[in-house]
């Protein structure tokens, strides 16, 4: 009885347990005290999953949040879902798998169906080919459809440092320095600014980041190969705020229309069946209102966004609310104490955008309402 009362968080309130299974570096950057305390105040306990102990020996969990790789972990997740059909897994390993290959990752973009916009914005992906072996690399026919410069990206995007090691190749003379399997993606001049669109369930936030500089015509005949890695990623403890934009001279870079990136985010979420991801967008300097999606990441560095605690906590409440409704736990107002009633997460709470640079889209609210408190 005491344990049940403890789970109910005293005064008959039901508490929820979200287990998180993350690599140490990710846990350190994402599970901050500020997130843990805000979630706790809304009736949610964030509990570390010990990745050295079988998942089946831990819990119980109402929801599992994870960013781990490998067949054994996928097996444990399948067993967890079979044993706990009412628990939410964020997100399904099968859906995440699609993002671990840079070809299947961007294929989802071709499945998007988004209405034409009167303002004329269009989207797509850069031209790219996959090269599985050295022989193909030297088979001119394989890559002659591409225009140099190209970016050579590892085919596998599995979160390893190796999967971020890239090379900018200006001419085919540079191809012999590459190690397949790789994707050769046309480098598109985009003014040195990349837009990262963070998605947390129905919530979307677009931020600007420093990107690779444009390549001049003269440079395009060089046999050089420029290696780089994660040029647009911030250090885990760095956040995106005005000082960052000033330091990186990104202040006056125009953001893409919020409704445009939100439509793409919604489309990607439906096609990929993922809740937690971001995607990188560049504006093609040749056309001005043509946007190219160049990368999609599962469970990115949300903590770099000021106010990420409220975004994630509101999302957790959405998930738990949805699970409770699905479980038939109708929330009877004032029916505290009855077995099926659920006091649930308190989802009221102000959730504010932070200035012009970051567009903020919360469910059902337009831009003009972004400063209002969010009751979801």
Ligand X SMILES: Nc1ncnc2c1ncn2[C@@H]1O[C@H](COP(=O)(O)OP(=O)(O)OP(=O)(O)O)[C@@H](O)[C@H]1O
Ligand Y SMILES: O=P(O)(O)O[C@H]1[C@H](O)[C@H](O)[C@H](OP(=O)(O)O)[C@@H](OP(=O)(O)O)[C@@H]1O
Provide the binding-site residues for ligand Y, judged by CB under 6 A. Answer: 25-26, 29, 159, 196, 233-234, 278, 297, 300-301, 304
Q: Which is nearer to Mg ion, 42 or 196 (CB)?
A: 196
Asked if 230 touches ligand X (CB under 6 A), the answer is: yes
- Residue among 43, 67, 29 at smallest CA distance from 236: 29
Asked if 294 touches ligand X (CB under 6 A), the answer is: yes
Rounded to whole angstroms, the Cα distance separating 139 from 48 reads 50
Rounded to whole angstroms, the Cα distance separating 62 from 146 reads 49
User: How many CB atoms are closer than 10 A to CB 13?
Assistant: 15
With CB atoms as reference, the residue minimizing the distance to ligand Y is 301
* Shortest CB 21 distance to ligand Y, Å: 13
- Residue among 313, 304, 274 at smallest CA distance from 26: 304
The label of the residue with tokens 């949040």 reads 65
Rounded to whole angstroms, the Cα distance separating 108 from 353 reads 29
Asked if 295 touches Mg ion (CB under 5 A), the answer is: yes
Choose the stretch contacting Mg ion; rule: CB under 5 A; options: 40-48, 75-83, 292-300, 307-315. Answer: 292-300
* Shortest CB 75 distance to Mg ion, Å: 26
Asked if 295 touches ligand X (CB under 6 A), the answer is: yes
Q: Which is nearer to ligand Y, 142 or 255 (CB)?
A: 255
Contacts for 270 with CB less than 8 Å, ≥ 6 apart: none
Q: Which is nearer to ligand Y, 43 or 154 (CB)?
A: 154
Q: Which is nearer to Mg ion, 88 or 274 (CB)?
A: 274
Choose the stretch contacting ligand X; rule: CB under 6 A; options: 107-115, 176-184, 226-234, 302-310. Answer: 226-234
Q: Which residues pair with 296 in a beta bridge?
A: 279
Choose the stretch contacting ligand X; rule: CB under 6 A; options: 73-81, 91-99, 224-232, 244-252. Answer: 224-232
The entry of ligand Y, Mg ion, ligand X, none that residue 29 binds, CB within 5 to 8 Å by partner kind: ligand Y
Rounded to whole angstroms, the Cα distance separating 63 from 47 reads 10
Q: Which of residues 120-179 bind ligand X (CB under 6 A)?
A: 126, 151, 153, 157, 164, 166
Q: What is the DSSP string of 316-358?
A: HHHHHHHHHHHTT----TT-TTSTT---------B----SSSS
State which of residues 38, 96, 212, 293 lies at the interface with ligand X (CB under 6 A): 212
Total chain residues near ligand X (CB under 6 A): 23
Helices (H), ranges, 236-335: 242-247, 258-272, 308-326
Contacts for 96 with CB less than 8 Å, ≥ 6 apart: 274, 298
Asked if 297 touches Mg ion (CB under 5 A), the answer is: yes
Q: Which is nearer to ligand X, 39 or 281 (CB)?
A: 281
Rounded to whole angstroms, the Cα distance separating 234 from 228 reads 14
Give the pair of three-digit tokens for residue 28: 């350190």
* Shortest CB 231 distance to ligand X, Å: 5
Q: Which of residues 272-291 bind Mg ion (CB under 5 A)?
A: 280
User: CA neighbours within 13 Å on the CB side: how many for 103?
Assistant: 10
Q: By the criterion CB under 5 A, which residues form the site for Mg ion? A: 280, 295, 297
Q: By the criterion CB under 6 A, which residues form the site for ligand X? A: 126, 151, 153, 157, 164, 166, 185-188, 190, 194, 211-212, 230-233, 280, 282, 294-295, 297
């Amino acid at each position: 009885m005491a344990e049940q009362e403890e789970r109910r968080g005293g005064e008959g309130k039901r508490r929820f347990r979200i287990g998180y299974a993350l690599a140490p570096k990710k846990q350190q950057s994402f599970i901050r005290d500020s997130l843990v305390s805000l979630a706790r105040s809304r009736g949610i306990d964030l509990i570390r999953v010990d990745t050295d102990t079988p998942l089946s020996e831990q819990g119980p969990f109402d929801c599992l949040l994870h960013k781990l790789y490998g067949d054994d972990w996928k097996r444990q997740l399948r067993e967890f879902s079979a044993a706990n059909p009412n628990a939410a897994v964020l997100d399904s390993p099968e859906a995440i798998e699609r993002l671990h290959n840079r070809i299947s990752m961007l294929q989802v973009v071709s499945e998007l169906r988004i209405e034409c916009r009167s303002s004329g914005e269009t989207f797509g992906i850069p031209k790219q080919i996959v090269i599985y072996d050295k022989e193909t690399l030297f088979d001119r026919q394989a890559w002659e459809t591409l225009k140099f410069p190209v970016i050579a990206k590892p085919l596998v995007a599995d979160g390893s440092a190796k999967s971020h090691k890239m090379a900018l190749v200006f001419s085919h003379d540079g191809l012999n320095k590459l190690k397949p399997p790789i994707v050769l993606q046309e480098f598109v001049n985009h003014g040195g600014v990349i837009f990262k669109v963070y998605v947390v369930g129905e919530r979307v936030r677009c931020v600007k980041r420093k990107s690779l500089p444009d390549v001049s015509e003269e440079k395009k005949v060089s046999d050089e190969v420029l290696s780089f890695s994660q040029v647009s990623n911030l250090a885990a403890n760095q956040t995106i705020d005005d000082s960052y934009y000033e330091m990186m001279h990104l202040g006056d870079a125009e953001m893409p229309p919020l409704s445009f990136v939100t439509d793409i985010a919604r489309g990607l979420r439906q096609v990929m069946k993922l809740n937690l991801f971001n995607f990188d967008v560049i504006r093609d300097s040749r056309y001005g209102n043509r946007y190219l999606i160049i990368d999609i990441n599962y469970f990115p560095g949300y903590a770099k966004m000021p106010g990420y605690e409220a975004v994630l906590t509101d999302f957790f409440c959405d998930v738990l609310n949805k699970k409770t409704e699905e479980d038939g736990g109708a929330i009877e107002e004032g029916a505290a104490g009855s077995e099926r009633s659920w006091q649930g997460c308190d989802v009221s709470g102000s959730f504010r955008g932070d200035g012009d640079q970051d567009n903020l889209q919360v469910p059902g609210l337009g831009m003009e309402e972004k400063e209002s408190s969010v009751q979801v």
